[in-house]
Structure 1
């Protein structure tokens, strides 16, 4: 939208932009990040409409690391298609550069990169298939599980260390969204039990667009230009109305978190906000990925307010990860907890998750397994 406005402002004499940030060159230079890059690359895949719907579901599950933050089954359910169809689209998405994007695990991420760089030898593949063995038993356990010699395992690991375990993180430096003024401003108003929220689009970043008039006896080309300017002005007004609907629905749903009454956002999926705002789920996804909001908690990305619920846990994924991180941070350095022990601690808090789920979320946080933490401490990555 920003680039479209900039182009229109340069090429239409009946369209005028005013207000802060309305310079066409500034508007055209809006920042981009991982999701913007992936969206562009998806455009080159020539997907069918059904495949595009599945790709959108995958994009919504793409974490900043470049890994998938949902299972194939969850994406298939979200897109309303069979799992086999979803896997076929995933294979195409995993062709997007940089290699390793849309991986479901560390092993798959490294495998995609190794194959792309011609490093996927039989030894490297064997190590990747048995990579989990290194967590508890070190190199010797990995050698035994993979059927390789210690020397061969060392060589394979040396090749794997040249790869990037989080290929999406490189886009963080290019994403300047938090370095510019927020797109929304959410302010608490009223007193006592009559308190509420005022959610507005930030005037500091929102240019005023005005369609200038044209005489009826003007040449046809000028009348057409004036009509185009009026159409664009109406489209911008509709766009702003949609943005406000999404922003206000988000604030209503996450009011307790934004007021700092609870430490983590409530479980929330984009479909719920789409229903509240009366828009399509893909619209909510685009707004969430691109925009920020000034709140009592500071400037936050709208995407951070979404977190799918944990099955059987009664909390969001972000809250679960925060709890796992706090449990590990408090563990005795000499006796770190196993994933099973962490699962037991969570169960005592009323959060029922499997040991393998604990391992997956721990890896997402960049926290190594128990055997590595015993040697290096809880916060150093493996």
Structure 2
């Protein structure tokens, strides 16, 4: 096994890669969702006569192509170099088929937005009363993921307004996607703010919150002076806060819209073998087997003129590149999914409560690709697990952001910091976030508040009042 590249080797390799249209297309394929990939394949089949969909079991005849036509092989190698320019080459994963009788019930390939939320609720350790209230709330969300129906209209003898309010804020709005069930854009933005880590919070917290609460309709030049005056901040701080707010998601269900054209199809399955060990299987159902049209290969050999030959060669190279790019895409998704299984084994064996903190670099280092590749692969790609269907990035979004530090470690350090504070000037949650960030704990203010409460430690103002 070869060792990872040195910095100089990596830089030389990266400098030698030319970002051709074909390479750009291959990188784009990594980013596509399953449905988008199917659409792209259909487009390519229509536009390239050399590319065709073959029935399973067919074989190609690459070796029969004239030598000149193989010049495009360099671009294919470039794509492999692009993926692997950050560490060791990855090996190809084994191919498996899911037996029809493997499960007591069929695996559902499609899951609606609502069903996805209900699936998460089914795994949460909450009381039956809370679970029932959560089901009511989720089933009344609109297509954007907002709760537009007043709680008073949903309330009943068994589910009073107070209970619905508590469950909405503490349970539903903490589902994936974060903030689902918000009753207004203001509430949704505040949920996002409260869950931002120190690294993500690129503007003063108080200024951002103040603008969301009071000046959402005045985030322009005319309202800038008023914002700085009322919130007692500088113009630069106000502009930073406005920029941060504009970068936030406006719709909770963005990318999860529950309609005929937006369904969740798993890209991979996590299944157990006979020994109880998990395997990762790629889902190729619905994807046509692509090949080159052999009649065009023969036609290239007897092309009557250079123009005809050049056209066939160009289309042939495009077809071969497209096929190779899809193969590479599937292999990369498999490798990332296998790495997730390696790091998140407890999740698969014991359930969502055992999800650990994980970042892109750890997986990138593990499989020998760049972080950007892992980022592309985990966006809009879904995994079917024993506990429901999750976007691959879900496995990076829980736990303590920025690393694999356990909750116990964070709580222990949080207690130490508070015990060492000046009793006359107790540390606010925001200050605790900053101090923890300096030590490598990239956590949200809301997380600190929750863990502080779990430790039985009151707020800063309450601690000061005890003196």
Report 1 or 2 for greater relative contact order, CA contacts < 8 Å, sequence distance ≥ 6.
Answer: 2
Structure-2-length-normalised TM-score: 0.42
Larger radius of gyration, structure 1 or 2? Answer: 2
